[in-house]
Structure 1
Amino acid sequence: MNVFRAVLSKAVDGNAVVVGCILVLIMTSTVHAQRRGRGPHLAYAYPAGCERGMSCEITLGGQYLKNADEFFVSGEGVSIEILNWYKPMTRGEFTQLNRKLREAEIRLQAELNGEGGEAPSKAEVATYAGVTEEQLHEMELYRRRDRDPKRQPNEQLDETVRLRVTVDANAGFGKRELRLIDGASISNPLWLHVGRWREVNESPPSEIVSFVDTVDEVVETLPTVINGQVMPGETDRFAFQAREGMKLVIQADAREVIPYLADAVPGWFQAVLRLTDETGREVSYSDSFQFRQDPVMYFEVPKDGKYIIEIRDSLYRGREDFVYRLTIGEIPFVTGIFPLGAPVDSEQTIQIRGWNLSNNRMTVSTMSRKRHRPIMRCRMTQSGGVGIQFPLQIGFWPEVFDREPNNTRKEAQSISTPRTINGRINYPGDEDVFRIEGGGRLVAEVAARQLGSPLDSMLRLTDAEGNEVAFNDDYEDLTLALQTHHADSHLTATLAGGREHYLYITNAQHDGGSEFTYRLSLHRPQPSYDLRVTPSNIIAKAGQIVPIDVFVMRQDGFDEDIELSLIEPPEGFRIDGNVIPGNVDHIAMTLSLAPSTKVSRNKEPIQLEMQGVSRGGRRGNGLIRPAVPAENMMQAFIWHHLVPVENWNVVVDGKGGARMPFTLVPGTEAAKLSVSEKAFIPIAPTSKNFDPSIMFVEVADPLDGISATVVKTRTGGYAIAVTVDNTTIAEEKHILPGDRGNLLLSVYKEITAKPTEEDPAPKPRRNNYGYLPAIPFEVTNRR
């Protein structure tokens, strides 16, 4: 597929942005697959975590894992040992062995009949056929799995790698990024959870999985984290003893463990919890919590006794990657915070609501204005040293609190702009009304759902007579990865000067309460942007040039060029093709490693940082934004997400590669592409025996109709000749005059041996050298 179609697309409205982004991501996913080959892909980890100070065995499931012999885990205090690799027998392997056994049985039967012997046993047939006991065992496993009507074969889950994970006693709690490395490729990340509470695993199924629950598990102490997997049609049950008056929180982490399932519809494990007493009477039920899909229960125990918690998928689906962590105990749990943010360079008292909280207020000192970080992570300590975390939005305008009553136009609260309002929808049907002072362009945007509030906001703007000027319910924010319901509102309008306008905010679902908090920001349009860079983890050799992709999410009509640069990079590291044109939302460029870069010891990564600065402002006054490393993840065959990760890592591999046969001549400018003539990019051979007839360049992610060849120039030098097919521009299929982007060129040598009697038509032998630095291009005219 053609990634440059999306590179050169223009986002003209909200829907176009959404569709364009999906196309870009689909194409980019294909591009990375082509660039990297079949590297390891991880689908699940079971169990998905380990208790601090303990060791546990974890099974990673996925595809192309056989050659993965190293790993990467973020943070300190976690060590990993790879124990073994396993892949179940395929249909082809089973069929071949079965045929071999049948043929051996026929031959052996004939021999024994000739000697007057008895029919051969299965063991004798297997020995005669050369089939081992292990192969017979795998064949039996295959038969059992194949006969189960609930099981659907899935090659993305077939392979497993078993690890031994050891967590230090002082390791930090929380999620760690875990990846496998096979030398040439690094896998997608999975989350490994380092837990505070005692952890147990559900009893393993029998060797031949039956998928039928027969025995309840017994939880001996609380709090406990239970690790489990739900298979097709399965309901897992766990029994525990509880005392009268206990205030139990029962929390299922399913989407929190694996936020998406790559090929499932719906695209995640939808867990359901059901709590019963020992007689089987249901005492509590949950299939979600607020807007979150993972269920949570709060249960005040009415009497001493045995209780049973059940967990299953809402549709009774199941397979190996339906992994969960079920926490049971008198643990703190946050249900809401207020306010959801605070001004930069300030102190703010935050009120916390929830269950089992020993501390529900804290004063936060926000970050300096010099740091453009819109979200601050806060941590509050509860009794026993247990920490709870929550996000806090940092604002750059004056802030006020909504003043009740403000439910009608008569009671409307007067607001000048720019201003951020911290408010609540206090009860079902509540509506807050604000009188807007002043005219001109206005942007009204809500931050609620993105900060953990259950509010599904709805904004309505009217004039003094009550005529609707603007309305918005949901606004898609592409910076919010893995969001399935973009419930926060955002509208723009032009207000007539000297007239009153009224802005109404309410909950679209007609719910309300103390947890339904919001931040409503009113300001003039503030053109801005966010950046994401993929892949987030790179394996490369010293001196190698690797392709990267940078995505820009533009806001409030931002259409300036953005220039990217590495921040304090290691010596010799650089990026090429580092300008994103103002009408482009995604561009491919290259990262070059210094030839002198040392090989990473124990796969210890080099951490890079990159930032963008807009070119449209006054000199030295452009908007600076970080390029956040992200993983390009696909869900349910169509939905793609740019999921931010902690670090942008480069692992330097020690294996050498072929030396590039030529380089670009220093000072090479952007290629001017047109139909009327070829564009020539000068190159300099790196050896005396350079032969252009066997050297080839390939346009990676090509525009339709663009091709490139290595040629000798009239002056005796060498160049890459770039040709644009006439029909491509004439029919206005993909490129237009003025369009800009980057050419990514891979280089290879191809030699065909002379025909011989043994091989009259020999196949060409290709030697790949890798990529040249990205070359900017501009389309200059139609003819």
Structure 2
Amino acid sequence: MNDLPKTTARLAVAVLAFFAGHLSYVSAQSVCLPAPRLLTTMPMGGQVGSTVEVTVTGESIEGAEQLRFSDPRISALPKLDADGLPLAGKYTVTISPDCPLGIHEARLMTPLGLSTSRVFSVSSLPEVIQEKPTPTAEAPMELAINTICNATMPVRAVNHYSFTANKGQRVLVECAADGIDSKLKAVLIVADEKGRDLMVERRGGAIDFTAPKDGIYQVKVHELTFNGGPEYFYRLAIRDVAGDVIPDPLPSTQQVNAFSWPPPGLSAVAEMREIEPNQDTTQEIGLPCDIAGSFYPAADVDTFEFNAKKGEMWWVEVASQRLGLPTDPSVLVQQIVDEGDDRKYVDVAELNDISSPVKVSSNGYAYDGPPYNAGSSDVLGQFQIQMDGRYRLQLRDLFGGTRNDPRNVYRMVIRKAQPDFALVGWALHMMLRNGDRNALSKPIALRPGATMALEVVVIRKDGFDGPIELRMDHLPEGVAAQGLTIPAKQSRGIMLVTAAEDARQDMSMADFYGTAEIDGQTVTRRCHLASMKWPVKDGKSEIPSPRLLADVPISVSAIEKTPLTISPQEDKVWEAKAGEKLTIPMVQTSNAKFSGANLSLSTFGGDMERNPTFDVSLTADRTEAVIDLAKTKTPPGDYTIAFYGGAVVKYAANPDAADAKTNDIADIIVTQPVHIRVLPEEKK
């Protein structure tokens, strides 16, 4: 399988905390070994029960063998030419009649492993493809109502469509773009037959249009800054909507912070709804409660009153932004104090954002933190009742002063403490210098001998502060996973996924989860996986945009090994007393040539991350890892750790080719897990 392109790359493996010192001369380059990435599909979905021809493009996907989907009820076969040979990048996709509607993941199985994903939507409506641009109002593409059109936006262009509606007919015109991984920032316009604008929506989304008379109407779509190209795709839906129904939006991917919603056991439908109008009135509730409502009309403030007793502690959780909406909920709890004919409101608590559990990148990349934000503008907080009495709670959208959209809904749960946790992980990214702003999607496509580190963070709920063990099951043959515990009261852990040096090409959908003891019970929670929508190689032109994935795919490459493997000399538990220095023999296997003599290693894993960095030789086949337990102050116990670091490696994508060249790339190399037991210090 030497049919990868004869492009070249060079691997510079960076020590996160010391990246600038080791790679000061590397600037604005790719920072990962080549990885298979699916970039576009056309169309981006299909009607349930139908068969469609799909064309794909991507990076490092040469020799792709299969197009796979996250739901087995979507299947694909290569499209064949007249001689019965597969046509590159073309597949016949069959969507089973029992396939669930909504968002699914499409991926390519390639010689390098399973690619990153691209959204594939399954709808109940007939679908068409726009074969060529429609740049003028004189020649729009005609669409029937209740149709979805798959299209791509050309550069500096406007696409025109037309539909026929009767007087008084309500039509929802909606453009799915950002929610299906597109780079398009859509401007949507409904116009009359001659192209004169009637309604404009400049923030994407939808236009709820009622036809003023029988006739033909036009829809115009363009990019906010008139960018375009294959990555600026969209799905335009024109739907008939009855009466006062609030229509469901087109399905969309979830933002990273959506991992922390809903709480386990929450019913699909709220127990009660807000009663409108309540701008100047209050709604009586009893605690605990579960309420659904909307930030509508503009500047809406929903007010609820309840009785409470001294000493009660209540937790409030509001979901709206985590539902994919452009909202910023805020909760104000006040005590109602009546003094004769006068009424006063005494503030008890003001609850706003859910903070990110770890510091995120300040520039959207990875210079001083991950380019993923697990925090949210939603609400998760508590308030305590200081005295028996009457209280009110006001809920508002801090961004909602001028927006008048009933689709900006919320769900509010007020409960006694239910300690719990939610987990999300992503492939570890570089801590890059300014000017090296790469934020690349990293599929868990392992080269034999490689260890990939996934950073895992936790949102702790309702006072839970215990340790969390990370696990991963259902792995490909030859692949092992070892979770580094998230310590008590901390927010970050590491999952290490390792392919054996003799692992063969394989793939599976893994189960990724964490377990903890809460009130004497073992609690298990799924760990969601997040990834970049697009590989960002030049931060001066693009901001990274991550999202949650539907599953956890893991695969092994068939064509090359990792440049460097570092593993313990023995598979055993290494012991040392607290306060001592522990030296662990390590074995190095190199499959590439390096620029430079040494590799500086830092430590992953709980209380040992304070371990000083140490150097190992890149020319040796044996080395030593050193842990100074006096400096880490690690208490007695069992630990799993790993080391990570960087070096510059000569790399060629196709080293056997006659014209093979080498170049530079930056990436992270992680050692295989090391098991350590810290024994109590001997009493003097």
TM-score bin (small chain): 0.5 to 0.7
Give yes or no for the alignment of 1:299 onto 2:202: no
Which residue of 406, 416, 419 corresponds with 2:289? 419
More strand by share: 2
Which residue of 575, 580, 584 corresponds with 2:486? 580
Please say if residues 292 and 411 of structure 2, whose CA atoms lie closer than 8 Å, have aligned partners that are also in contact: yes
Q: CA deviation at 1:564?
A: 1.9
Give yes or no for the alignment of 1:607 onto 2:604: no
| TM alignment of 1:79-94, pairs within 5 A | 79-81=76-78
Amino-acid identity (%):
17
The letter of the residue matching 1:706 is T
| Aligned partner of residue 318 in structure 1, secondary structure | coil
More helix by share: 1
Please say if residues 424 and 518 of structure 1, whose CA atoms lie closer than 8 Å, have aligned partners that are also in contact: yes
Q: CA deviation at 1:609?
A: 0.9
Q: CA deviation at 1:169?
A: 6.3
State how far apart, in whole Å, the 1-side matches of 2:452 and 2:107 are.
20
State how far apart, in whole Å, the 1-side matches of 2:625 and 2:248 are.
66
Residue in 2 that maps onto 1:58: 55
Residue in 2 that maps onto 1:498: 388
Which residue of 190, 193, 203 corresponds with 1:275? 190
**TM-score (normalizing by structure 2):** 0.66
Please say if residues 745 and 772 of structure 1, whose CA atoms lie closer than 8 Å, have aligned partners that are also in contact: yes
The letter of the residue matching 1:520 is M
Q: Compare 419-428 and 313-322 and name the one that shifted more.
A: 419-428
| Aligned partner of residue 559 in structure 1, secondary structure | coil
| Aligned partner of residue 469 in structure 1, secondary structure | strand
The letter of the residue matching 2:484 is N
Residue in 2 that maps onto 1:286: 201
Please say if residues 601 and 616 of structure 2, whose CA atoms lie closer than 8 Å, have aligned partners that are also in contact: no
The letter of the residue matching 2:44 is A
| Aligned partner of residue 450 in structure 1, secondary structure | helix
Residue in 2 that maps onto 1:227: 150
Residue in 2 that maps onto 1:742: 641
Q: CA deviation at 1:39?
A: 1.5
Q: CA deviation at 1:212?
A: 6.6
State how far apart, in whole Å, the 1-side matches of 2:375 and 2:416 are.
26
State how far apart, in whole Å, the 2-side matches of 1:72 and 1:596 are.
25
State how far apart, in whole Å, the 2-side matches of 1:681 and 1:249 are.
65
Q: CA deviation at 1:581?
A: 1.9
State how far apart, in whole Å, the 2-side matches of 1:670 and 1:523 are.
46
Give yes or no for the alignment of 1:628 onto 2:528: yes
Q: CA deviation at 1:334?
A: 10
Residues 200 and 486 of structure 1: CA distance in aligned 2, closer, same or farther (over 3 Å): same
Please say if residues 562 and 581 of structure 1, whose CA atoms lie closer than 8 Å, have aligned partners that are also in contact: yes
Residue in 2 that maps onto 1:459: 331
Larger Rg: 1
Which residue of 140, 143, 148 corresponds with 1:217? 140
State how far apart, in whole Å, the 1-side matches of 2:141 and 2:501 are.
58
Residues 583 and 69 of structure 1: CA distance in aligned 2, closer, same or farther (over 3 Å): same
| TM alignment of 1:49-448, pairs within 5 A | 49-51=45-47, 53-60=50-57, 62-66=58-62, 70-75=66-71, 76-81=73-78, 162-168=89-95, 170=97, 172=99, 173-204=101-132, 216-219=139-142, 221-243=144-166, 246-258=169-181, 261=183, 269-288=184-203, 293-300=204-211, 302-303=213-214, 305-330=215-240, 336=246, 375=262, 394=266, 399=271, 413=284, 415-416=286-287, 418-423=288-293, 429-438=300-309, 439-448=311-320
Give yes or no for the alignment of 1:566 onto 2:472: yes
Residue in 2 that maps onto 1:775: 674
State how far apart, in whole Å, the 2-side matches of 1:556 and 1:724 are.
36
| TM alignment of 1:692-707, pairs within 5 A | 699=601, 705-707=612-614
| Aligned partner of residue 345 in structure 2, secondary structure | coil
CA deviation profile, 1:412-465 (whole Å, cap 9, x unmatched): 63533x333445667554531323402343322222343477875331122334
Q: CA deviation at 1:706?
A: 1.3
Q: CA deviation at 1:235?
A: 0.9
Structure 1 runs not aligned, ≥5 long: 7-29, 85-159, 206-210, 262-268, 337-352, 356-371, 377-391, 687-694, 712-717, 730-734, 751-762, 764-769
Please say if residues 603 and 613 of structure 2, whose CA atoms lie closer than 8 Å, have aligned partners that are also in contact: no
State how far apart, in whole Å, the 1-side matches of 2:43 and 2:375 are.
29
| Aligned partner of residue 180 in structure 2, secondary structure | coil
Residue in 1 that maps onto 2:626: 722
State how far apart, in whole Å, the 1-side matches of 2:501 and 2:472 are.
17
Residues 523 and 226 of structure 1: CA distance in aligned 2, closer, same or farther (over 3 Å): closer
Please say if residues 50 and 167 of structure 1, whose CA atoms lie closer than 8 Å, have aligned partners that are also in contact: no
Q: CA deviation at 1:471?
A: 1.8
User: Relative contact order: is structure 1 or structure 2 higher (C-alpha 8 Å, sep ≥ 6)?
Assistant: 2
Please say if residues 335 and 354 of structure 1, whose CA atoms lie closer than 8 Å, have aligned partners that are also in contact: no
State how far apart, in whole Å, the 1-side matches of 2:143 and 2:79 are.
31
How many residues get paired? 568
| Aligned partner of residue 149 in structure 2, secondary structure | strand
Please, what is the CA RMSD of the aligned residues?
5.4
Q: CA deviation at 1:282?
A: 3.2
Residues 474 and 189 of structure 1: CA distance in aligned 2, closer, same or farther (over 3 Å): same
Structure 2 runs not aligned, ≥5 long: 1-13, 20-26, 82-86, 250-258, 338-343, 359-370, 428-441, 590-596, 650-661, 663-668
Which residue of 37, 42, 52 corresponds with 2:33? 37
Please say if residues 631 and 642 of structure 1, whose CA atoms lie closer than 8 Å, have aligned partners that are also in contact: yes
Please say if residues 576 and 775 of structure 1, whose CA atoms lie closer than 8 Å, have aligned partners that are also in contact: no
The letter of the residue matching 2:570 is V
Give yes or no for the alignment of 1:528 onto 2:451: no
Residues 71 and 166 of structure 1: CA distance in aligned 2, closer, same or farther (over 3 Å): closer
Please say if residues 565 and 578 of structure 1, whose CA atoms lie closer than 8 Å, have aligned partners that are also in contact: no
The letter of the residue matching 2:414 is L
CA deviation profile, 1:571-600 (whole Å, cap 9, x unmatched): 876433531223543333423457997754
Q: CA deviation at 1:563?
A: 1.0
| Aligned partner of residue 194 in structure 2, secondary structure | coil
Give yes or no for the alignment of 1:681 onto 2:573: no
Q: CA deviation at 1:80?
A: 4.6
Residues 185 and 407 of structure 1: CA distance in aligned 2, closer, same or farther (over 3 Å): same
State how far apart, in whole Å, the 2-side matches of 1:253 and 1:662 are.
47
| Aligned partner of residue 322 in structure 2, secondary structure | helix
Residue in 2 that maps onto 1:100: none
| Aligned partner of residue 467 in structure 1, secondary structure | strand
